[in-house]
A = this chain, B = another copy of it.
Amino acid sequence: METPLDQLIKRLSRLPGLGPRSARRAALHLLKHKQEMMIPLAQEMADVAHSVKDCVECGNLDLTDKCHICLDHKRDETRLCVIEDVADLWAMERAGVFSGRYHVLGGTLSALEGRGPSDLGIDRLLSRIQTTKVEEVILATSATVDGQTTAHYIAERLAEHQVAITRLAHGLPVGGELNFLDEGTLAQAMRARSKL
């Protein structure tokens, strides 16, 4: 017979980064700290599930219909950074290197997983570009095959629009050691070398 505790552990183990063993450890930790962890965590989870929604404009997650980035008039609305996932948006915001707006695709094109242009809302991206003052679209998808395919597809679709299309630089990661780098990255870094 499956107890509620077994069910909880099973569901915890389905979170990314947790397996059966760490799910058991997490469940025990929660049970040992009911008042300061388990009960508030359950409450916060329920609250967030009911209050957080997708931004109607960019796909970011926030409490409002339009997210705080889309509502922020101090951000540069002429630059639009196209990313795969909300996690990428968070990473960009933590780095603090971009002051424009975002567009979250929610994935990449993928023949294998059967995701086409309509699943990514690329039409929504196009109409957004037509109706706002975007001058530059930065394609910041991952440097994977699917990510780059998606970038190329979007670049093609945008070709007829009056916007500059750019992509992130590829090369050595900061702190990266040459002998641990794959050949693809090395080749990119060599090709895009710049004067000192």
A49 — which chain B residues lie within 8 A by C-beta? 30-31, 34, 38-39, 42
Q: How large is the interface on A (under 10, 10 to 19, 20 to 34, 35 or more residues)?
A: 35 or more
Do B37 and A14 touch across chains, with their CB atoms under 8 A apart?
A: yes
Residues of B within 8 A of A12 (CB): 41
Binding site of A, secondary structure by majority: helix, strand, loop or mixed?
Answer: helix
Whether A24 sits at the interface, judged by CB under 8 Å, is: yes
> Is A7 an interface position by the 8 A CB rule?
yes
Contact status B25-A16, CB under 8 Å:
yes
Give complex CA distance A43, B25 in Å: 19
Contact pick for A22, options B5, B17, B34, CB 8 Å = B17
The 0/1 profile, CB within 8 Å of B marked 1, for residues 120-154 of chain A is 00000000000000000000000000000000000
8 contacts between A and B (CB under 8 A): A3-B62, A8-B44, A16-B29, A24-B90, A31-B52, A31-B86, A38-B48, A39-B49
Known: A17-B25, A30-B48, A46-B46. 8 other contacts (CB 8 A): A4-B52, A11-B37, A15-B29, A17-B26, A18-B26, A31-B52, A31-B86, A38-B49
8 interchain residue pairs of minimum CB distance: A42-B45, A17-B22, A42-B46, A38-B49, A8-B44, A15-B26, A42-B42, A8-B48
